[in-house]
Each structure stands twice: as structure tokens, then as C-alpha cells.
Amino acid sequence: MEAQLFYMGTSKILEIRKGGATTFTWGSYGPWTKLKKPVASKTKSVKYSKSAKDKAGSASGFKAGGVTLCDTNIPATAQRTIDGVERTCDVRYQVRGYTIYSRTAALKKKKKMKRSTYTTGKPYQYRLQYADKAIVDKEYSTYVDSEAIFFFADHYFDSAGSRVNTSSHLPHPCECSLTYSDVRRNFESSANNSDGRDNSGSYILSNVRANVVMLTLKWAGVTEEEGETILQVLNPSKNTKGQYNYITIQYLDPATGKSKNGTFFASSERSIVKYPSGAFKEIGVSLMEV
């Protein structure tokens, strides 16, 4: 059988706990918080401006917790509830500068205001990151560049196009179909908006993007553990910024006969039929390229 789907990857925090050892890596963030006693790098009087606003600076790299900074205790560990269980997680932190404007009555009389500048060397705020993202160590998955990668064939292709064999993989879809579509937009102002034709009756449509891929996948007769794993990858969830995750996929491009990587999102419906035993009779999904 020719493999059509090589792997799927997701950056979401997975809830899979079966069939493998769970380790934890850096996951969720705490909010940006003002240090107790920040010391400005520079403070000066500047021309008064009503519209000037406080502005955050760029963030530093991460450092290990367990320190005191500007009279603020930054812990080395913290208790986090993960999948209903309270765990002790490692903590690291980053800082950032800020530009703060102060407008006192005395300064306003002089048409002045105070500008205090904080930097990563003399920071104003900090935030914590917790090692609370679960990684399940399974034969059919790996963890690369903040993504959990799940294999669906006995091999995949690396960035150089070389074949890499896998020691194990999830069941390959029993059905895998692909559809190309073009994204079009009307750029011609003289075109009739109702049918996209100009005054001479010619089409004035132009492709904005060609060959956008839609993958339709179906699995049949997979175990309860395998089905739950597949659904964990397919079902989106919000990250710390309130955005839903995408799915990275390596698939066989029928136009070239070669593997191709793409970024996809699942359609609004994932169809599921289960047996009374808990095994999955069928899982179906359509995935649209971003």
C-alpha cells in the first residue's frame, strides 16, 4: 500500500495519558507583572504631550527561577494542576522594559512631563513560564520544535527529502482523498459584481492563490487508545494567546508523487462512530490548508 499520510503534528497541550511515559516541558505563561521595586535606567523631563502613552519594551530571554529581582521573589518551582492532578513544575522567567510617563501638576505648568525608561537590564515587569506541557513518550510519536509529531506510515521524509524509517506508527487512514481549489478575487472595478464580468462580457477574475489543498481522511477499526490519540491531534484548542492551533501535515502530493508539508485546520465537523467495546468503528475529518 502506498502511504498517503506520513505524519501530523500539533503544538497544542495534549491530554493523552495512555500507553506511554509522560514528561513535561515548558508550556503556559503567567501574566506580565510589575516588579515590586523597579529602578529606571533613565528618567528625564520631556515636552508635555497628552497623547504619549506608556509602552512595553521587548522581552529578554528566559532564565531559571529561584532568584530575587527588584525585591520580587521569583520561585524555582510552582504547584500547577495538570489533568486534575496537582504537580510541582519547574519555573523560568523573562523580563521586559517599559516607557512610563508621569504628568504631575507642577510639571504641566512648565509644559513638561517625566519619562522613565526601563530596559531588560533594569526591568519593569516579569512573567513566569511553567513546565506544565505534557509530552507522551510513545513509539509512534516524537517531539520536535515545540510540536508533538505523530506518524501514520513506516517512514517519512526529512527537510532534505531523505527517507527516514519509523519504528512504529498509528494506523494509516483507510481513505485519503485530496482536492485542489483556487482562491479567486475580482480586481477589476469595471466588472459587474454579480457575475464577475466586465462591460464586454469577459471574465475579469484572477487567482489570488492556486492549488489550495483539502484533505479528507477516514480511519476504520482503530483501538480506543489509537482513536483518542488521533482525535487529540485533530480537535483544536486555544493557546495562551486565545488562538486555536493549526495542524502540520506531511502528505503525498499526487501532482508530483513526492511528499509535501503543509499547515492545515480541521473542518467544523469530525465524524465519530464507536463500538460498545470502546473501539472506534470510524473517524472522519476534512482538513483545509491554511
pLDDT tens column, 174-195: 999 999 887 765 554 454 445 5
pLDDT recorded at residue 191: 47
Measured CA angle at 265 (ends 172, 225), to 5 deg: 40
Q: Is the domain of 81 the same as that of 121? A: yes
Q: In the chain, which residues have pLDDT < 70?
A: 12-22, 83, 135-146, 184-208, 238-242
How many CB atoms are closer than 10 A to CB 152? Answer: 25
Total domains in the chain come to 2
Contact 74, 91 (CB under 8 A): yes
Report d(CA 66, CA 87) in Å as an integer.
18
pLDDT recorded at residue 224: 92
Give me the amino acid identity at 14. L
Q: Is the domain of 165 the same as that of 201? A: yes
pLDDT recorded at residue 85: 73
Q: Is the domain of 273 the same as that of 148? A: yes
pLDDT recorded at residue 19: 46
pLDDT recorded at residue 168: 86
Expressed as residue numbers, the domain containing 11 is 5-26+136-289
pLDDT recorded at residue 145: 56
Q: Is the domain of 117 the same as that of 144? A: no
Q: Is the domain of 228 the same as that of 162? A: yes
pLDDT recorded at residue 83: 66
Nearest to 285 by CA among 272, 57, 273: 272
- Of 131, 166, 195, the residue that ends a domain is 131
pLDDT recorded at residue 184: 65
pLDDT recorded at residue 235: 83
pLDDT recorded at residue 162: 92
- Of 97, 131, 165, the residue that ends a domain is 131
